[in-house]
Structure 1
Amino acid sequence: MMRISCMRNLFSALAVAAVFLYVSSVQRKLQTQENQLYQAQQNLSLHNDLLLNKLEKLEAQMHAMEERNRNVKTKKQPVKKLFPNSHLFQRWTVELSEEDQRKAEDLFQKYGYNAFLSDQIPLDRELPETRDHRCIEREYAQNLPTISVILIYLDEALSVIQRAVCSIINRTPAHLLKEIILVDDHSQNGFDYFSFTEDLKTQLDDFVRSINQKHPNLVRMVTHSEHRGLTRARISGWKAATADVVAILDAHIEVHVKWAEPLLARIQDDRTVVLSPVFDKVNFHDLEISKYHATAQGFDWALWCTYERFPQKWYDQNDPSQPGKSPSVMGILVADRLFFGEIGTLDEGMQVYGGENVEFGIRVWLCGGSIEIVPCSKVAHIERAHKPYVHDILNTMKRNALRVAEVWMDEYKTNVNVAWNLPRKDHEIDIGDVSERKKLKERLKCKPFKWYLENVYPQLKLIDDILGYGVLQNDLQTSLCLDQGPLDKNTPILYICHYLYSQVFQYTADGVIYIGPLKSHIYRRTLCLKDPGSGKAPELKVCLDAKKLKEHIYWDFKQGHAIQNRDTKRCLEVSVDQNGEFELFIGECSSQHWKIMYVIRDF
């Protein structure tokens, strides 16, 4: 009887335990469903606010249209085109009233893209699918690192920033998106007394407040009290970030579906890899999306950004959805937050804009990391027609490039001088104090730049055969320089010396005279000076094509002497007519004297 009683008690305990476990399971499911319902309600609330915003705009537009219709005469008159030479209206062929044309053109000049149209289209618009089918099918783990998205802006259109924020919230899993940080590098677009519109900061504050009511503390703002430049703005955003991974983006972007997951998964595998998504182009005039295919990102010896081919083994795998190695990044980057700090963030000595991304890319490779482009991550980026806030990009870029060369390029740094048509020594440009960056280089035990050229970027052709470079002048008239002339003519001319790219030449050890900007890549289509063999006019020809056709592109030249073609024995000459006008021609040699601005080796 005692055994039976014990068995009954045991069965009773088991039954109670089973009921308790069942009830606990039901409670957990209910809690999960409540959380999911709450998240859905939050998203629905944000969607409703956006929808209400669009309806209010639509109502205002309808009232405006009704008012215009009342003022239209019985017979509609064609609207005058006020800005036929505008880059905007040459591509954006829509019928607008004269008032709207003025607004659209004013906003275009202000921002470099069609902000007038941006204000009309939805903040949560759909983007066309541009990913490879393998990207669409790929699934990712749930326990990925969290991400802080940093958006940098200076005098950006409000609707463009709002669209960027909405796309990030709508297309990034909520459990991965820790925060969005907006960094304002001292914007100046204040109250508009003509249209009585509030300034950017006031309107953006209201927008951020409405987002944070539904997603507490999701969006934060960092504001500079003075203009500090793109590099320092990015560093400000990084310092404010708290997630595992930082994505540093421009504010004139929209992210695609599943943009974050492939980036986070790759960094979860290797925290030392720095990544870039693939940019789709948003047209500046109609804001439509143009698909871009994945390419590596590089630079030339002047440190201007260029697109590059991936290493051949990336193409051999026949899977365009796989990440590919890249020599550099073009500014938009994603990295482990702590690794970004360990490797030295960005060089705060870089001014305003240009070259900072190349410096970072070189440093990552030399100092223990690597760079990859991730094709399954797509970000749509507005390509401006002009950058309204950068007025002297050439001088800033030149200064920044020389700073990068001094710190990282070792014995190859003079290539940058040649590319910028500067003397190889004593260029007299202030590049700032680089002592801390050189200490960082030593502390991180970084590899020499030669390793980078041999192992990471062999496409960057060494400039080791140039004897002289710069402007070419004939002693008959030293105020005139040899010039490329009109681009569509392929005929060089004499022109008043201005020392810019169209007057920059390089004379090489094999006797070729290259013209125009220095093309530092092995597959670039550089132009060369050519004697056509007949007639008086010299010509310019793509060097690779001329060599294949065995045309007359080789010249004998010694500093201060004649420039004579090796094949035809004719010389590059200058004549003076009765009116004192100077003309460039090829003909019989008359012992004229030419000089090139800078000499690397005697010739």
Structure 2
Amino acid sequence: MLMDEREIFKDQKFVASFAKLKPEQRHQDDQKPKPQNEEKKASRLFPDSTLFKSWGKTLSEEDQKEAQALFEKYGYNVFLSDRLPLNRSLPDTREAKCMSKKYPKELPSIAVVLIYLDEALSIIKRAIHSIVDRTPGHLLKEIILVDDNSSNDDLKKDLEVYVKSIEAQNPGLQIIIVKHTESLGLAQARNSGFRAATADVVAILDAHIEVHKEWAEPLLTRIKENRTVVVSPVFDRVNYYDLEVVRYPPSAHAFDWALWCMYESFRPEWYNHKDPSLPGTSPSVMGILVVDRKFLGEIGGLDGGMKVYGGENVELGIRIWLCGGSIEIIPCSKIAHIERRHKPYLPNLSLAVKRNALRAAEIWMDEYKSNVNLAWNIPIKDHGIDIGDVSERKSLREKLKCRPFKWYLDNVYPQLETWENIVAYGGNVDANRCIDQGPVPGHTPIAYECYYYGPQHTYYTSKGELYIGGIKSHKYNDNRCLADSGEDSVPDLYNCKEAVKKGMGILWSFTQGKELKNRKTKRCLEVMEHNLVIQNCTSQTWEIQNIIRSF
């Protein structure tokens, strides 16, 4: 039992016994002198730390310091993890119909690959323990640990000792440790695990997971039915602060044009079946995937040219669909996954994701590849970002006779907006002031010193709309349009459809280096004394950073 659970239990016993006392007895203890050595209640040393927002209220000051230091190092609660049993039980969060499903005994063998870089030892041990305990022994052929050049001492000898003890307890199970002599990033670490595997099926997982019971059988059954289907379990969230499991419903793994991952609803036909235990198709994979080992080799493994983190899973997802495979989420397979508060090995993820996104776009996205540039607000040409040599991957695409990316947009991910009407983008500048979305929530754009981050990203369409503060990647969302109500001198910023309903003018006449005039009110957007105003035109001019085509 954990420390704070003990305290709660003691408090409950005290309240129960206190309630039985007569009123005159309830305050007797108040008259007694307090013991000299009674412990003072520990003060909260880190009131702003998210680690302690709902956990650790009874920790001593010394324990708080240790817990916070470990949290800063790892991004999740290692202090608590080190005190939890390795074989802790997990709540069964599967859909009700999953409980009664039966799976064939004769299924493909599975190799489980765990990728890590300076992960906490107790977290890795618990992952291994859950895999061994909750995977049928006749199916689990090997566990492969891929160490992407960790520096933690306990991930050397201590981990090896633990691995040997697990092997001794499970004759026939092999646990392989693959060590990189330099950090190569997630894609190459996963490739190392894939190459070391010999089982029929490879499950590539993070090391900060715990598998639920019957996690493997539904995945292996689906792959046995169709070896070209790449499958993924449903991830439950493990809170980084208290390590409690939070149920997540089945969802598709999707992305935006910046190639950031996201959860998304399945296609409508999945919900029409009214059976949440059925597999659902998915545009991509989050990074945790289970696949026929030979099929993954046939389509080129993972792109070893991807760096550090991000984008490599979306690249693989697109490639699977374009090159003869498909992706499904299997609701009856559940894995509990810790969502870190931060990734200590890469404080700024955007740099790697941006670079990897441009690489994936160059190889797979054909005429739509410039949408990645738009999403990141970087020039289409001469952006100065080295995406590495892509010739080998382009040759692979030709060899596999993969479909064009337009097929993917039409048949796999029609929710993705194509942005074919965007003619210019970037910061919209008058002298040294940029149009800025202003305070959010709010509907009043402002003129602000140019810094060209998200709030100042603008997009001009062939229709004459001007989106401010970014652009939405999906058809089910609406952009925010610069608008003129015609009623005052203050410009407005509303979702485009809402602005039209309000009778506002959202279409603007604009030529590079000329005025920006509203077509409905015939008034111009201008800057007066550092303020953004709508007024009669005075020949004030604007420029937008990047031109896609003439307008």
TM-score by length of 2: 0.90
Partners of 1:507 and 1:438 in 2: CA distance: 32
Partners of 2:161 and 2:303 in 1: CA distance: 34
Write the letter of the residue equivalent to 1:162: K
Describe how 1:383-462 pairs up with structure 2 within 5 A: 383-462=339-418
SS in 2 for 1:109: helix
- The answer on 1:183 being equivalent to 2:146 is yes
Aligned pair partner of 1:208 in 148, 163, 185? 163
User: What is the deviation of 1:95?
Assistant: 2.2
SS in 2 for 1:528: strand
1:135-186 deviation digits (Å, cap 9, x = unpaired)? 1110111001110010101111111111111111111111111111111101
- The answer on 1:499 being equivalent to 2:452 is yes
Write the letter of the residue equivalent to 1:437: R
User: What is the deviation of 1:487?
Assistant: 2.5
In structure 2, the residue matched to 1:273 is 229
Partners of 1:273 and 1:402 in 2: CA distance: 26
In structure 1, the residue matched to 2:13 is none
Partners of 1:548 and 1:320 in 2: CA distance: 38
Write the letter of the residue equivalent to 1:393: L
Query: Using a 3 Å threshold, how does the CA distance of structure 1 residues 139 and 445 change in structure 2: closer, same or farther?
Result: same
In structure 1, the residue matched to 2:114 is 151
Partners of 1:111 and 1:204 in 2: CA distance: 17
- The answer on 1:351 being equivalent to 2:307 is yes
- The answer on 1:360 being equivalent to 2:316 is yes
User: What is the deviation of 1:74?
Assistant: 4.1
Describe how 1:24-423 pairs up with structure 2 within 5 A: 73-92=36-55, 94-190=57-153, 199-216=154-171, 217-423=173-379
TM-score by length of 1: 0.83
Describe how 1:571-586 pairs up with structure 2 within 5 A: 571-576=524-529, 582-586=530-534
Write the letter of the residue equivalent to 1:519: K
Partners of 1:75 and 1:542 in 2: CA distance: 61
User: What is the deviation of 1:428?
Assistant: 2.6
Partners of 1:79 and 1:544 in 2: CA distance: 55
Deviation larger for 115-124 or 345-354 = 115-124
Partners of 1:425 and 1:593 in 2: CA distance: 25
SS in 1 for 2:424: strand
- Structure number having the greater helix percentage: 1
1:256-283 deviation digits (Å, cap 9, x = unpaired)? 1110000000000100110111111111
SS in 2 for 1:374: strand
User: What is the deviation of 1:573?
Assistant: 1.7
Write the letter of the residue equivalent to 1:268: K
User: What is the deviation of 1:601?
Assistant: 2.3
Partners of 2:370 and 2:378 in 1: CA distance: 9
Partners of 1:535 and 1:300 in 2: CA distance: 36
Partners of 1:596 and 1:568 in 2: CA distance: 22
In structure 2, the residue matched to 1:48 is none
Aligned pair partner of 2:535 in 587, 592, 595? 587
User: What is the deviation of 1:365?
Assistant: 0.8
Deviation larger for 136-145 or 396-405 = 396-405
Query: Using a 3 Å threshold, how does the CA distance of structure 1 residues 544 and 282 change in structure 2: closer, same or farther?
Result: farther
Partners of 1:287 and 1:495 in 2: CA distance: 43
Partners of 1:527 and 1:91 in 2: CA distance: 36
Structure 2: runs of 5 or more not aligned: 7-34
Partners of 2:63 and 2:79 in 1: CA distance: 8
SS in 1 for 2:126: helix
Partners of 2:213 and 2:539 in 1: CA distance: 69
Length, aligned pairs only: 519
In structure 2, the residue matched to 1:598 is 546
In structure 2, the residue matched to 1:5 is none
Partners of 1:188 and 1:498 in 2: CA distance: 38
User: What is the deviation of 1:564?
Assistant: 2.5
1:343-374 deviation digits (Å, cap 9, x = unpaired)? 10011011111111111111111111111111
Partners of 1:471 and 1:122 in 2: CA distance: 53
Partners of 1:594 and 1:321 in 2: CA distance: 55
Structure 1: runs of 5 or more not aligned: 1-50, 59-71, 191-198, 577-581
Larger Rg: 1
1:378-408 deviation digits (Å, cap 9, x = unpaired)? 1111111111111332221111111111111
Write the letter of the residue equivalent to 2:251: T
1:472-527 deviation digits (Å, cap 9, x = unpaired)? 1103xx2x322223323443223332222221110112222112233111012432
SS in 1 for 2:448: strand
For the 8 Å contact 2:459–2:470, the answer to whether it is kept is: no
Partners of 2:309 and 2:283 in 1: CA distance: 20
For the 8 Å contact 2:485–2:503, the answer to whether it is kept is: no
User: What is the deviation of 1:334?
Assistant: 0.3
- Could you say what the CA RMSD is over the residues aligned between the two structures, in angstroms? 1.9
Partners of 1:165 and 1:152 in 2: CA distance: 12
In structure 1, the residue matched to 2:519 is 566
- The answer on 1:514 being equivalent to 2:462 is no
Aligned pair partner of 1:486 in 439, 443, 455? 439
For the 8 Å contact 2:258–2:354, the answer to whether it is kept is: yes
